[in-house]
Chain A
Amino acid sequence: MRNLLVLVALLVIASPGLAESPKPRNFDWTAWRYLPVQDGGRHKPLDTLAWEASRLLANRTSFTAPDTKEKLNPAAFYLAMIFEWPGWDQTAGGHAAAHGGMFAPPVEPDQWDKAPLLRLDYLELRKALGVRADQKYLSPLEVGKAQIRDPLTGATTSFVNWAGKLAAQQSQGLTTFERKGLELADKYWSYQSHRTGKRLEVVPLAGSGRGEWLSVASLMKDKFDDANDPTGGLRKLQTSLQEVRKAYLDRTGDAFQNASSQFLFLAGQFGPKLGGYPSASTIRLEVAYNRWAPFRFAWIFMLLAFVGILLSLGTGWKSFYVASFTAYLAGMLAMLVGFGMRMVISGRAPVTNMYESVVYVALGAALFGLVFELMHRKRYVLTAATAICAIALILADNAPAVLDPSLRPLQPVLRSNFWLVTHVLSITLSYAAFALALGIANIALGYYLVRSKDNQAISSLSRFTYRCLQVGVLLLAAGTILGGVWADYAWGRFWGWDPKEVWALIALLGYLALLHARYVGWIGQFGLNVCSVICFSLVVVAWYGVNFVLGAGLHSYGFGGGGQGYVIGALGLQSLYLGIVTLRAAPQIWAERSSEVAVSQPAA
């Protein structure tokens, strides 16, 4: 009780604004988004840091202020969280000492600590933590205080301590439950370090050989003198930051604007003198990339194109086709722009993680779709291509937990290598061709499903399936071989039976078996379409399964987790469709085949 009184008193003295009825935070945060920061081994604008933090913590892009119910964008949310941290006003040894502990909240929890910010999707963990089964978000305070009942031992301990122990022994295999628990704890720890300004590093640390930067936490709390700040720049920056905070807490818009501009100006002036500093143009480009999200535009266009082509097929109106085609081209353009921006920002080819490969497959499918459409003007191809692109891009844009879109530094072995880029590009392009084949085959199977007599359409579709498979096989063969060339170049061996290599080979063998079986005549048009759908599951394993499920081998830099449920669900749906189609079409196919055999018998 006394503690609380002291806190209230402190808060009243430090920030009169908070004690009264909450005032809105209607500031212009735009300039702050361009502040260059260092995080995760990379220089980036604060905008990106805030986006990534909000994605990690809450998996959302907009926040509601607990007091005023305003909507805040990630940058505003991020800075509000820092500026409002009560810890800045407390002298060392006060409340911080009273709570102690590495992971305990060092200060009295405020409204942000009590706000439901940390997302928890794993149902069993909710159960073990004793929260409602439908409670998706936990507040940091709740997580900090939570007790966990370990399903293995049955013992009840503090969740944070439990996770801390797990983190220490992370190298040994963890169960799904433990992994999910650690994920939540990571969110909690990240929240603490973001909140307290430790992750917001704003200017280079002079003379740091490892290129370290100074965080807002240091800038707010540390004492600078002539010894550690010979030019006085840091002290100016410190004063300026405190002015910004004061204006923020007072909610005086003009003062905040002026103080902010001064702080940002000082940081931009002073930063480059201290060490490596990103150029303003790269920062502007990255903010623009975040702002415009070209891949989001791409899926919207692709979805429009898909709807357009369906309308065109349904009505036969040419204008729908033209409109759809235009949207398709716009979608492709958006993807190209997106790739271009990512390449400029990161300085490398954009094919080094799962997110980029999914988006790249969309681009590849769009490209092949365009070529085939121009060659044959069949509309089916466009239907399949728009569907595949839209699915891939929507997935990429909406599953950041599985397909992490953030740009990260590369492992040493992946840097600056021509063969790596060509190898990954051609393999991924082959996936695109196979994905397009999957789309076309599914449309063809649709004809069988409705027992269509439109043999012209079926044979035309089958021809496109076959074409796509040919393109895919050539690219996959070349890509797998290029992978060997790269492995030879980087590791000194052409082929090492690494699971990723082996699964690329398995996918290739699957499609080769399909092509050869088609050649022998073991399978007809129907079989070709069915098999190209089945074979795509090999691609799924090679592409997703090895990294996310199998988790073995040298390609571990691409490892991740999550999404198994969705992938298995998609495979299940596809199998169901395949099964129904086969049941519907089998009698007819069987009859045709036996009559063919009967016809061809005398000739043999």
Chain B
Amino acid sequence: MPSLADRERSSRAEPHPLVVVLRWLASLRLAVVLIVVLAAVLAWATLLESAHGREYAQWHVYKNTWFLALLALLGVNILAAALVRWPWTKTRSGFVMTHAGLLVLLVGSIQTFMAGIDGQMIIEEGQTANMILLTERSQLTAMWPQERGLPPAAFLFNGGPVDWPDGTTLDMGELGGVHVKILRFLRHARTEEVWLEDKTGNGGPALKFALVGPGGGAAEENWLASGPFGGEVTIGPATFELHRTADASLLDDFTNPPHPKDMDEKGVLSLHYDGKMQRFPVSEHLGKEIALAEKGPRIEIVEYLPAARPGEGGKFTSQGNDPRNPMLEIQLHLPGSEQPVRQIAFARHPLLNLDSVHGKASPVTFWYHHPAVKPQAGTQFLQTPDGKLYARSAGGETYESRGEVKSGDTIATTAGFQVKLIDYLTHAAQETVFRPVTLARGESSGPEAAVLVEITAGGKSQQVWLKRNDDNLGFRVLESPEGSLAIAYSYERVPLDFSLKLHDFQRSSNPGGMGDASFASSVQLIDKAQKTDAKRMITMNEPLVHGKYTFYQSGFHELPDKDATVLTVAYDPGRFLKYLGSLMICVGVFFMFYTKANLTRKLWNAAIGRWTNRQSKISSPKESRRRGMAPTDRAEENTCVHAE
């Protein structure tokens, strides 16, 4: 049983709970608290932006749900404050208009946030474009071949402003028979080509080495990989070559090349056939046939070119007799074949011999040694058929063998430098790895984002790295039991029902070429539906409006032979309400502050009073302090009286 006192209290004026809530929501106290909280949050957000960049602040504050909720609460507070003052008297018109204006502005902002488009269009001179890129939003798209008749499955995905910590994954669910799961996200990713052990055993050798200076300074690591016939890397003046051979006898040639003293001016041609090496001085055998074995292939050295230069139709000619680039034209007669095979042998660049250029193994391997070709600075490696690796370095007139080398070995090379062999793979396959990039403080842009996604289609799961909006790495085709599936990671795209062609991008500079004074894009607007095909200009302060879109000149890219314009494309459905709300706020504040004050009359009185009332120059306001401001002030300050 409630006591008498209790009953009396409740019957007296216990308002409905909803009214209590409404009053609380409408209270000025809540307004002050919310305003202060909002200001503090915003200040913190600008500090975040200064430290971590715009994207970070947008993600964690401005476009985050809790921030929008805070704004919504403020909106509710404003709405409630206006509602509890119903009915509105004339004196409250300023108050009502200001607060209604704020609400209209908020509604307009929500419209923009929900349905607005703020994107980019990049058009090269002479090209036509009809796609808007929404650079703040991205998507993963899975596409089946056209004959399956399925629409592309688009997974809207925004990874955020920072790399995901290891172990964070996001299941995007299934769409159109494709299941997508994000395994890793790097906000800024760089790619690196690395060589890994090739399990199939088909790949050529690869080795990782570092060049260490005489002082032992830090060195950059390099990969040296061989295709079927070799590869090379140049670091400063030094060249590093990796050769690969099927003839075991080549090792002799490699470790003990003929000494220049033992050669005449046309050099020596080494021939490797059937595991054996045979050397022939060129001057003695020029124009003659050499039989390598009984019933085996025959060789004819057709021509000696001391300074070979490529001419028309694959023919080489010699530019003088100075042995700058000695080369031999060779005919190889294989048993059982009428037609001889053409071969060439360079003394300076054995990797360019025709057997390697054509990628066809010849039963005979040629190695041409010439006394004028000095050993090149650096180290050369040779992989023999048994998978072992040998090295030699330039030493004076000829090469000095370094014998067999293994991972971890240090090999002396030219001029006191050393090659540290870090890794050696007998069979290697190249792979692109994605690594995170950390931006320096104050840097606002870095490389594009990348994701590792797990795609499951037709019961088969595959993992693939994709780089956003990248011409090469942003798009992969996967084989699944249900056919090939293309998957892309790109910005969200919005197609336009018209197109723009960039005729010309113009820049004008200040006098003397100091900085840009203006940018302009001359475009052709083509809209078939509206039968528009007209030339238009877009300049810095003169946007192009077509349909619901507005195109602004925002920047440009300088390409080697032409320019590309960067246009900002915007569609803002909330614009009208935002402008209306803004106008209401300004007018409302003005009325709230100045209707009773009656500025003009005051000014007039003051001007008149100056002449009529010279004695009392300093008027004395009535002394009536009570709880803050004097009542006269209060009436003057506020035309509306809040119910407190």
Contact = CB atoms under 8 A, between A and B. Distances in A.
B384 interface: no
Contacts of B443: 172-173
A493 interface: yes
B39 interface: yes
Interface stretch (A16-24, A51-59, A142-150, A484-492): A484-492
A529 to B, nearest CB: 12
Interface stretch (A85-93, A238-246, A498-506): A498-506
B292 interface: no
A571 interface: no
A462 interface: yes
Given A377-B618, A463-B621, A492 B569 contact: yes
B332 to A, nearest CB: 55
Interface in B594-644: 594, 602-603, 606-607, 610, 617-621, 623, 625-630, 633, 637-638, 642, 644
A484 B630 contact: no
Interface in B449-507: none
A474 B619 contact: no
A209 to B, nearest CB: 9
B154 interface: no
B313 interface: no
B630 A519 contact: no
A413 interface: yes
Nearest to B118: A493
Contact of A484 (B36, B50, B578): B578
Contacts of B426: none
Interface string B256-288: 000000000000000000000000000000000
Interface stretch (B139-147, B370-378, B583-591): B583-591
A127 to B, nearest CB: 26
Contacts of B316: none
B570 A379 contact: no
B35 A485 contact: no
B517 A409 contact: yes
B31 interface: yes
Interface in A526-548: 528, 538, 541, 546
Contacts of A520: 28-29, 32, 644
B568 interface: yes
A593 to B, nearest CB: 9
Interface string B204-233: 000000000000000000000000000000
B42 interface: yes
Given A488-B572, A546-B46, A596-B626, A456 B620 contact: yes
A519 B603 contact: no
Contact of A38 (B49, B62, B512, B644): B512
A466 interface: yes
Contact of A521 (B510, B541, B589, B627): B627
A228 B602 CA distance: 71
A478 B590 CA distance: 10
Nearest to A318: B617
A509 B57 CA distance: 20
A99 interface: no
Given A456-B621, A506-B42, A513-B32, A494 B603 contact: no
B260 to A, nearest CB: 42
Interface stretch (A75-83, A345-353, A368-376): A368-376
B334 to A, nearest CB: 60
B509 interface: yes
Contact of B39 (A463, A473, A478, A509): A509
A475 to B, nearest CB: 10
Nearest to B33: A513
Given A417-B541, A484-B582, A546-B46, A412 B442 contact: no
Nearest to B98: A477
B575 interface: yes
Given A41-B515, A484-B578, A491-B554, A460 B541 contact: no
A538 B602 CA distance: 32
Interface stretch (A177-185, A210-218, A263-271, A294-302): A210-218
A525 interface: yes
A41 B572 contact: no
Contacts of B552: 490-492
Interface string B11-36: 00000000000000000110110011
A585 to B, nearest CB: 14
Q: State the majority secondary structure of interface residues on A.
A: helix
Contact of B543 (A492, A519, A523, A551): A492
A103 B514 CA distance: 22
Interface in A371-391: 371, 374-379
A417 to B, nearest CB: 6
B520 to A, nearest CB: 10
Nearest to A541: B43
Contacts of A473: 589, 593
Given A455-B623, A484-B582, A466 B440 contact: no
A173 to B, nearest CB: 4
A21 B617 CA distance: 68
Interface in B21-80: 28-29, 31-32, 35-36, 38-39, 42-43, 45-47, 49-50, 53-54, 57-58, 62
A377 B593 contact: no
Nearest to A508: B39
Interface residues of B, number: 81
B410 interface: no
B109 interface: yes
A516 B517 contact: no
Contact of B606 (A375, A516, A519): A375
Contacts of A276: 511
Contacts of B543: 489, 492
A552 interface: yes
B575 A494 contact: yes
A40 interface: yes
A499 B50 CA distance: 9
Contacts of A509: 35-36, 38-39, 42
A413 B556 CA distance: 14
A201 interface: yes
A296 B35 CA distance: 41
B558 interface: no
B315 interface: no
A517 B511 CA distance: 54
A452 interface: no
B440 A459 contact: no
B540 interface: yes
B589 A40 contact: no
A38 B514 CA distance: 10
B513 interface: yes
Contacts of B46: 499, 502-503, 506, 546, 550, 552
10 contacts: A318-B617, A374-B610, A459-B623, A485-B579, A491-B552, A494-B109, A497-B58, A509-B38, A546-B46, A552-B50
Interface of B: 28-29, 31-32, 35-36, 38-39, 42-43, 45-47, 49-50, 53-54, 57-58, 62, 109, 112, 118, 440-443, 509-519, 540-541, 543, 550, 552, 554, 568-570, 572, 574-575, 578-579, 582, 585-586, 589-590, 593-594, 602-603, 606-607, 610, 617-621, 623, 625-630, 633, 637-638, 642, 644
> What are the 6 closest A-B residue pairs judged by CB atoms, nearest first?
A41-B514, A41-B510, A492-B570, A210-B513, A509-B39, A524-B628
Given A375-B603, A412-B519, 20 more contacts: A41-B509, A41-B514, A211-B510, A211-B512, A376-B606, A378-B618, A379-B618, A412-B517, A415-B540, A456-B620, A459-B621, A462-B629, A466-B637, A484-B578, A492-B552, A513-B36, A521-B644, A524-B627, A552-B54, A600-B627
Interface of A: 38-43, 172-173, 201, 210-213, 276, 318, 371, 374-379, 409, 411-413, 415-417, 455-456, 459-460, 462-463, 466, 470-471, 473-474, 477-478, 481, 484-485, 488-495, 497, 499, 502-503, 505-506, 509-510, 512-513, 516-525, 528, 538, 541, 546, 550-553, 596, 600
